[in-house]
Structure 1
Amino acid sequence: MKHFHRILLAFTCFFLFLTNCVKADHMVGYDMTMISLGNDLYKFRVVAYRDVLGIPIQNSFNFNIYKNSDNSAAPTPSFVASQINYVAITYDPKDCPPAGADLRLEKYTYESPSMNMSAFNSASGYYVTASTCCRNVGVTNVLNSSSTGITLTMDFPRLNSTAPTRFNSSPEFRKAPLAFFCVGKPYTLNWNIVDPNGDSLVYYVAQSNNIGSTKPLPVIDYAPGYNLFYNNIDGVPDLTMNIKTGIINFIPTKVGRYLVAFRVEEWKKASGSTPGYKIGEVRREFQLETVLCSDAPPVTIDELNQKRVIVDTVYYNTVYDKIFTSRDSPTDSLYMMIIPNITPGENVLDPVKFGGKWGEAGSVLGNNSNLILDDLAQVKGEFYWKPSCAVVRPKPYKFTIVVRDKTCPSPFYDSTFVTIYVKKKPNYKPYFVEPDTMKTPKTKNYFVLAGDKFQLQGDTLIKTYDKDSLGNVVSLFMEPDPGNGVVNSKFVFSSNPNVIHSTATFSWQTLCEDVRSTPYKVRFIAEDDDCLKHDSAYFDVNIYVRQRPNLKPVFDKVLNPIEYHIPEGQTKSFNVRVNDSASFAVNQYDSLTVTADLSEFNVPGGVMPTFSPVVSADSSVTPFTWSPNCANVRTDPYHLYLTVQDNGCPRLTKRDTILVYADGPFNSAPEFRDPLHPASIITTLDTSIYGGEVFSYNLFAVDTNQRFDSVFLQADYTSDLFAFGKVTNLAFLAPSFGKDSSRTVLNWQSDCKDISATPYVVKILARDNECVNPERSAFTINLTVKEKPNYTPKFNSATATTFFNMLAGDTLYIPLSAVDTNHIDILTLDTVYTSIPHQLPLPEITRASGSDSVRTFLRWVLDCSLISDQAYTIKIGAWDNACRLIADSARYQFTVKVNRNPKLVPYFPFATGDTVIQLVAGEKYELDLTSASATPGDFIEIATSGDVYGGITGNLATFEQTVSAGTAQAHFRWETSCDQIRDNVYTAVFKTANPPCLTDTNTYTIHFKVIPNTDITEELPNVFTPNGDGTNDVFSIKDKFKVYCDPEFSFTIFNRWGKKVFESKDPEFEWDGDGAGAGTYFYTLTSRVRTQTGSVNLVR
C-alpha cells in the first residue's frame, strides 16, 4: 500500500470546536451505532479506521446530543466514547485485495457508558456529533483534504416508555471496508448492514461531513470535476449503492485516493393504517485507493521449453519425470495444480493402480508435497511416474497442468495439456538348457523303488536361458498332474529365478503306498516376466514307482504262551516274541513293530496292563505286565490281540491272540444276627403294631470270610414298606457300610389307614465286596398292623337341648364340652355339618383339642337375613385320635328356628304423625331425615310421596336418599313459587321400614300451607361491625322481613349528604359496607306492603 504522508496543520481550530477538534491523526473512516441493553439502558459504539503510518489515534471522543426539532440539548446532553479494542484488519481473498499491496489498516472500537434514556421523548428524535481534524493529504476528490475535518454523527428516535421505538437498536455495519482496488476491475461490495429490530433500511451514497456541531452539518468541498451525483471517484460506472439492498458497484478507471460516504436510513414498517416513517440514520465514511494490478496471464513451460501441448512416449518400468515452470509479470501470486482425468481407470495419480506423483519440484518423492502449489512471480511443479507393465496400452494417458494468478475478481489462467503413451519393448522366449528341449524330446521317464527318494538337481537337469537384453526375470514353475492324487502335496520344488540363467530343484520321498502301474506326471515350466504376454517353455517328467520283494513276519509259537493266569492283587509279566521269516539279504530294509489291542482290559475301576511296542530288525521281544484288582476279576479270559508289521514295501502284517485270566479268591455271603444275641443267626421276624404307632428295628450283619470283607446293608425297595401306594408313609432305612460288620435302623410311621389283617413284608439285604461274585443274604420282616381297642367320647348333659326358637336380632350362645374315657387319647370338638346356606351368616365355633375332656362354645348372631319358616340343623362332633372314622364319633345335633322380630321397626328421631307448616310464596323449606335400625347390619330405607313432587303448578320438591348398613338418610327440599298460593294444603308423606326384617312402617306426614307475602316480622337491625371477625359483619333484613314474589321491592342506603351508596332489589341482600367509612347511614325500604325509612350505624 502506498504510504500516507502526514502534513503539518496549516491552521488552528476555531474556538467553537476546541473541545472536539484535534490534530490530524490519519483517521481514514468511521461508522457508529446505538445498542439497546434493556431496562431503558443504551450505549453508543464507534468504529474508527486508521492508516498505520499516521500518528496515534485519540483515546476517546466527546459527543454532544441534540434534538432534531430545534438543536437544543437532550436530557443527557453529552457522553464520552472511550477506546476498548484494537485489531489489525485482514482481508478475505474473495474481496479481491490488489496483489502485493501493503494493506495495513487498523480498526479501533470505542464505547460509551450505559445510559438511561427513558427521558428522551421528543417526537422528532435526536442526533449526536463529535468532530476531529483532519483528513489525509492528497485525496483526489476533496479540495484541500489535509485541511478538511471529520464529524462523527448518527440519528436515533425517541426512547421514552410510551414510544413505539422504545428499546430500539440502530443498524450496524458488520463487515469492515476494503481500502484498495485495482484499476479496470469490476467490484461488487456487500458490507452486511443489519438492523437488530428488523426495521426497514434505505441506502444512499452521501457526501462526507466536514467539522461541525449542530445541524445542518457542513460537508466537504469536492475538488474541481468531482461531485456526488455524476463523478464521485472516476468510476465507469461510478460508485452506486442499491437503495433496497445496499450492494455497492463500481469500476475504477484511474489511480487515486478518494473519500466516499454512505448513509443508511432506518424506517419503522407500516402497520395497519399507520404508514412507515423514518426513525434514525447511520453513516459510514471511508477513504479508498485505486492502484494498477497485473493484466497479463502467467506462462508455463517444461525443461524442453515445451508449452501448451506436450506429447511424450515412455516404456514401462522406465521413469517419466517432468518439471513445469510458470512465470508471471508483473509480479503476482501464482497457483499451479494438476488436473488428472478422473474417469475410472484413467487417473494417473491413483496410488494403487498407477502411482503417479505430483508436487513441488525437487520434493515430489517426499511426504510433504502439495497438490496445489503457490509462490510469488514463479512456481515450479514436478510430475514423476514409473509406469508398470499393467498400464501398457495403445490408448494414451492425459492430464492438464493449470496455473492461475490472483488477479481479482477474474484471475488469469494458463493450461498445459500433457499426453503420455506407455509402451513395451520386443522380447524373446526362454528355453531349457538341461534337459535340452531344443534337441531332445520334451518328455522324460524315470523309475524308482517304493521307499526311495527321487530328485532332480539344479544345474544338471533343470536349467534355463533367456537371451533378452531387457533384463526380464525367468521364473520356473512345477505343474503336477491332478491324476497324481495326494502325492502332489509331497513333492518338494524350489526355484531360483534370475535374469539370464534360472535353476530349480525337485525331490520326492516315495512310500510303499505310492506303488502303482501308471506313472506320476509332472510338468516344469519356464516363463519370463515380459509385459502383457509372458513367453514360456516346458518339459514333462513321468515317474514310475516299483514294488520291492518282501516276506511276512511270524510269532514265536514255541516261546509265546497260549494262555496266562494272574491272581488278583499280584503283578506278573510275560514276553511276546516275533521273528522275520526271511534273511537280512532278502529283507534288508525291514524292521518289525509289535502292537497290542488292550481295549478288552478297560473295565470300570480296573487296572490297565502295560505293553510298550519295540521296533527292531529281524526279531522283537515285547514285555506284557499286569496287576489286576477286584474290578478286573472275572471267570472269562481277556483277549490280548497282537499285531506285528514290517516296514517293507509292501508292508506285511501277522496277527495272534493270547488269553489272559484275572483269578479271584473264595467267598461266602454275610449273615444277619440278633442285635441282642450276636451269636444267633436270624433270617425272619414276625411281629405286629397298632395303627398310628412307629415301628423301629435295629439291624446287624457280619461277614465270616477271613479276608474281612466289608458289609453293606440296604433295603429291598420293592418290598411293601418302601413301595409307593402300599402304605400311607414310606419306611426309612439309611444304607450302612462297615468293615467286617455293619449296623443300621429301620423306621416306619404307620397310619390308621394301614390297618390290615395281612402282614406287610419287608426285606433287608446284606452283601460283601468280594471281587469275584459279591455274595448277599436277605432278612425278612412280616409286620401286621392292628386296630387299637377304644371307647367312643361322650357329650355332657348341658347339651341336651335340641331345638332353639329365636327372634331376628338375638344371639344364640351354646357352651359345648365332651369327655373321653381313654385318658391317653387326644379329643377334638368341632362342627361337622350345617344346613345353613353358605351366603347367610354362619355360627362361630372354635375347634378345641385336648386329652380327657375339651370345652368350647357356639355363638351365632341372628340377623334378619336368617328369618325363615324352615329350621336350621347343626351337628357337632367329638372324636379322638384312635383309628376310627369321624362318622363313628359322638354327635350332638340341634335345630334353630329364626322368626320375625316386631321390635326391629325403624324410627325417625322426632315425633311422627301429621304436621302443618306455613310457607310464604317464594320461601325455601329443607328437611333432613334420619332412620335407624335396632340391628346395625340391616339396610333401612326411607320412601316418600305426595303432590309436592308432581301434578301442581310451579316449582316441585326434590328428595335424595343415602342408604347404609343400619342407617338411612334423606334430604327434602322445596322452594315454593309465587303461583303456588292456594287455600288447600300440599302434602309430603315420608315412610321408613326395615325390609329384610319384615317390619311395620313408621310414617311422617307434612301439610304445607303456601300464603302470600308478609310484612316485617321483627325489628330491623340498626348497627353492624364489618371487621372480619365473623360476627355481625354485614347488614341484612332477610331474617326480619319475609318478602318474596314482590317486583316492587327495593332497599336503598344513603350517606349523610344524601349520596346513594348501596341499592338492591333482592330481599336477601347483604351490605358489607365496602368503601364506606364509619358513621350513620339512612335507608328506604319499599315493598308492595309498605314504604319505610330508618338508619343504621356502621362501626369500624
Structure 2
Amino acid sequence: MLARLSQATHIVGGELDLQYKSGSTYTLTLNLYFDAVNGSAGALDNELTASVFEKTTNKRMFNVSLPLVNNSFVSYTNPACTRNDLSTRRLVYTRDVQLPAATYINPTGYYVAVERCCRNNVIGNIANPGGAGQTFYLEFPAVVRNGKAFVNSTPRIFPPLSDYACRGELFYYNFGGQDVDGDSLVYELVTPLNGHSSSGNSKPSQAEPVPYDPITWLSGRSEQNQIPGTPTLSIGRTTGRLEVRPTQLGLFVFGIKCSEYRNKEKIGEVRRDFQLKVIPCSTNADPTVQVIMPNTRNTYQPGRDTLKLQAGSNRCINLRFTDPDPASNLTMSLSPVNFTGVLPTFTTVRGMVHAPGAPDTLVSQLCFPTCFDTKGKVYLLDVIVADDGCSLPKRDTVRVAFTSKPDPNSGPTLTTTADPTTPLRVRLGDLVTFDVIGNDPDNDPITLAMAGRDFTPANIGAQFTVTPGTNPSRARFSWRVDCAAVAAGKTLYEFVFTATATPCTERQVTTLVVPMQIEYVNAPPVLASTLPPIDLATNTVSVVRRPLGSTYEATLTGLDSDQDALVLAATGNGFDLAEVGMSFVPVNGKGQATATFRWDPSCEAVTRGGLEVNFTLRETSCVPKTISRTVRFEVFSTDTLTFLPANIFTPNGDKKNDFFELPSLPPDFCGSLLSSIKIFSRWGNEVYRTTNRDLHWDGGGLPAGVYYYLIEYTDKKRFRGTVTIAP
C-alpha cells in the first residue's frame, strides 16, 4: 500500500539552490512544491538524494541525503482570491556539503541533480503527465580559478506562486531572482526535464548523470509556446517577469532557466519547473484614474501636458478614480519612472465604490512637498489605481510629466550669549558658560551640535547640553578650564557650533566659531643646595669624597614663584638610601620645599664602586617641570703617605739598617687586606714569605746581592720592587 502511495502524482515543481557558507562548506537545498489538494501523503518524502557530477566526464563526485526540514504553505498574492481546489506546499530539503578546493578545480564546472516522479496527471500541455518525472538541476563553477578561491552562490529564483490565472485575462508574476555575489542574471523559457524516474521507479536511490530526457509536449505546444494564450507565456530576459493571457482552461506546466554571468562569462544556472492553473473567472473591469490639471477642470493628457509646480503656488492636484464593478476596493500607489527620493502623498489612498452607501467615484489629492526640486528636468511619475479583483488586480496608470521649483527656504541662523570679545581669554579654573541659539525662519527643525578644531571637546571636559523642545533651539555650553586643556599642549581652542536643518532632505548648515585663549604662565621652580656644584665644563655629576668615620650633611631648598606645590626627593641609583647609611628628610609645601640629606660613609660605597644619588625637585602643575641633580659619593683612605720602601739594607749586626722593613705599607681598607709579602732571588726562587705587615727581615743569611719583593692584597692590588743586601 505504501509503495503504491509513493507513486501518486504530486509534484507542482521546484528548484535546487547552492549557497556558500564559509571555507569549503556550502548549503545544498531542494525546494519541492507539492500539490496540497491532490497530492497523497504517501508521496511526501522525509528525505531525497542529491547527486553531484563533474560536467566534462559525468564522474559522480558524491551522493548526499537531504532531510526534510520545513513544510509550509505558499501564500497567494491576494489572500482574498484563495481557492480550496488550489493549494501548494513548499517542502525544503537541505544539508551542508563540503566542496574542497583541492578537489573541485575542473574549469568546466559541476552539476547537481535530484530525480523524483510524478507530476500531476491532469496537466494539459504534456504527454502522460501522471507518469512524467522531474529532474531538479543546477550547475556551479569550480571553487578555484587561476590558483585563487572562486566563491559563488547560485541565484535564488523566488517567490513561487500559489495563484491561478483567469482565461482571457492577462496574468503576470515576478519570478526574478537575487544573487548575493552581484552576478548578472538572464532568464529564458526551457522544456522541463523528465529524467530517468517514472511511475515504476518514482524515487531512484540516486540521480543518474546527463543526458536527462525532456518531457513530451502535446501537439501545438513547444518550448516557446508552453501555455496556450494570446500572447503565450513569456519571461523577461533580464527581469524574470512572467506574462501570459491564457485562452484555454486547465493545468499547465512550464519551465524556466536562470543563468548567472560574471565578467560576461556564464558560470552557472538554475532551473525551475512550475505549473499554472487557468480557470474561468467572472469579468473584472479595469479601474480608471483621472488626474485633474491644477486650477482647472481639465483632465491631464499624458504625452501632451506637463505639470509645472511653481514656488509659492498650490502644489496639490486632484484625482478621481472609479471602477465599474460592484463593491470594488481600489488602492492608489505611485511609481517614479526617472527619479528617486521623496514622493508626493495622497490624501486618500484607498476606498470602495459601487457598494451600498459607497460612492461611485472616489476623490483624492496628490500633494507635492514644498521643497520638491526637479532642478529643471522633467520628472515622470506613474499614478496607479488597482482593484482587488481575482486572480490578480487590474490596474490603470496615468504617467504624469512634471517640473517643480521649491519654495524659497532660508538657512538656519546661529547666535550665542558669549562675550563678543574674540578670542575669549580664560584662565585655569575659570567656569565658562553661555547659550547657543539656533533659529530657522521657515520653522524647519534644527539640530545643534558642537565640535572642536583639531581636538575633541569631551577630552578637555567641555559639555554641550541641548534643551529639548525649545523653539528657537537652545543649548548650553559649559567648560571648567582645568589641566586637561593645558596639558594637551594647546593654548587656543576653537569651538565650532553648527545648526543644521534638513528641509526635504536638503541639508543646510550654519557654523559659528568661538575661539578661547588660555592664559597660562608657569615659571620653573628654583633649587638651591649645599651640594657641590656640577662641573659645567664637562657636564658631569658632582662628587663628594669622605673618609670612613666621618659624616656628610647637605641641605636643599626649592622655591616656586607660582606657589605651585613642590616635592623634593632623593633616590639611589640601584640601591636603597638607608642600606648604605644615607637618609633624606623632606618638608614639602606650596611654593617652598626643604630637605636635609645625611651620609655616614661606610665600606658599602667602596664595595659598590661609588654611590650615585639623584635629587629631584618637582612641581605640581598642569605642565610640571622638574629639576634634577646627580651626586656621586665616594669613600677614600686617610693614609695619604706614598709607599716608597728602602731598597737596601746591611744585616752586619752593627744595629744600623740591619733589617728590610715596610713602615709605609698601605693599611688594610674596606676589603683590601694584606695577603702576603714574598721575596725572590734573581733567579725567581722564593726565599722568604710572610703575612705580617710588621716586617723585619734580616736577609736570612743570604749572600749579598739584589732581591725582588712582591706584595699582594686580597683585592688583587700589588706592589713590586727590588731590595739589595749589602755586605
TM bucket, shorter chain: 0.3 to 0.5
- Which protein is bigger by CA-based radius of gyration? 1
- Please, what TM-score do these two structures have when normalized by structure 1? 0.26
Q: Greater RCO between the two (CA within 8 Å, min separation 6)?
A: 2
